[in-house]
Chains A and B, each alone.
Chain A
Amino acid sequence: MKLPEKLLQRLKARSPELFITYFATSSKDGKTNLLPIPFSDVVNDELILLPDLFAQKTKVNLNENHHASLSFTSEKDGTNIVLEGTADIVQWGHPAKFKIFGLTAEDVLNHYGDWDSTVEPVLEADESIRPTVFAERGVIIFKPERLVEASI
């Protein structure tokens, strides 16, 4: 589906009052996970790109179940928007010409895959609080299929 015009305009304008707050995924057997996540870009007015912020559980879930949901909250006017759809992750290590949702891995990664040159120094954290396994950074692609009016 094409994104609703009102949402599309706000995303493209990168309106500061609009946050992408949570990306919801689930294991195959129904254990949900919510990831607060910033927004990278919209492609072709229908795909939403999100940075993979070492989102281990999200990655585990998407590897076995592509159903996902993305919810937005506007701090300015209290608007909430929930989209349901499918998602996948483009990862460093994918073959350059590997395609997800019609996008080529090298195009996505070259443009968005090094989105944060000032990324937190993840390896410097104290071992007592550091996750033992780090996800490989990549880009999450969310393809919305339904706007859920009843969610709000």
Chain B
Amino acid sequence: MAHVTPRMKNWLTGLGAHIAVASKSGIPAVVVVDSATADDDNTIRFKLSEKQVALIRSQVTENPRVAFGPGGIGSIRAAYQFKGAGRLEDNILVVAVDEIYSTKPGPEAGLRLDVLPYEQVIQFETSRWLDNGPPK
């Protein structure tokens, strides 16, 4: 399982995420949520509307692979992509994150962070960003 850092959690809980799922045959569907909660260091929960649940239920059921990235300006200032296994608990999408990537355009795009030692990921963050979450 991947280790979601405090900065990552702050951006996700503060601004939500764009969440992509796909059918087994690869047709993607995206929902946008404006907040999230973090259960622990690798489980993120998103509260969905009824319409959103209806939109992605069949995909998540047949193919649990989920990708998401921080919403709003988080797409720029918190350039991470998270991947994991998702499941629906009523109207909550629960994702157990098992891969984390940098999506910073340029040479670091696609850099896989979850395979680095945790201290190195923190160092990666602190050397690139001064904030620890979205502006209040």
By a beta-carbon cutoff of 8 Å, the part of chain A in contact with chain B is 19, 21-22, 24-36, 53-57, 65, 67-69, 71, 73, 75, 78, 80, 82, 84, 119-120, 122-125, 129-131, 148-152
Contacts and interface: CB of A to CB of B under 8 A. Distances in A.
B32 A24 contact: no
A25 B109 contact: no
Interface of B: 18, 20-32, 34, 49, 51-52, 54-55, 59, 63, 65-69, 71-73, 75-76, 79, 81, 83, 103, 105-111
Contacts of B52: 150-152
B117 to A, nearest CB: 13
Given A22-B18, A36-B79, A148-B29, 12 more contacts: A21-B75, A22-B75, A24-B30, A30-B26, A32-B28, A32-B66, A34-B69, A67-B28, A84-B28, A150-B51, A151-B31, A152-B49
19 contacts: A19-B72, A21-B18, A30-B65, A31-B65, A32-B65, A33-B20, A36-B69, A36-B76, A36-B79, A53-B109, A54-B105, A68-B28, A75-B73, A80-B32, A84-B28, A122-B106, A148-B29, A151-B55, A152-B31
Query: Which residue among A29, A34, A125, A130 has the maximum number of chain B CB atoms within 10 Å of its CB?
Result: A34
Contacts, number: 144
Contact of B75 (A19, A56, A124, A131): A19
Given A36-B69, A67-B27, A67-B28, A131 B107 contact: yes
Contacts of B83: 31-32
Given A30-B25, A69-B20, A53 B31 contact: no
Instruction: Describe A's contact surface by its main secondary structure.
Output: mixed
B28 A73 contact: no
Contact of B73 (A19, A28, A56, A71): A19
Nearest 5 pairs between A and B by C-beta?
A125-B107, A120-B106, A150-B51, A26-B22, A24-B20
Contact of A151 (B24, B29, B76): B29
Nearest to B109: A54
Contacts of A124: 107
Contacts of B29: 69, 84, 148, 151
A32 B110 contact: no
B69 A26 contact: no
A26 B32 contact: no
A18 to B, nearest CB: 12
A75 B72 contact: yes
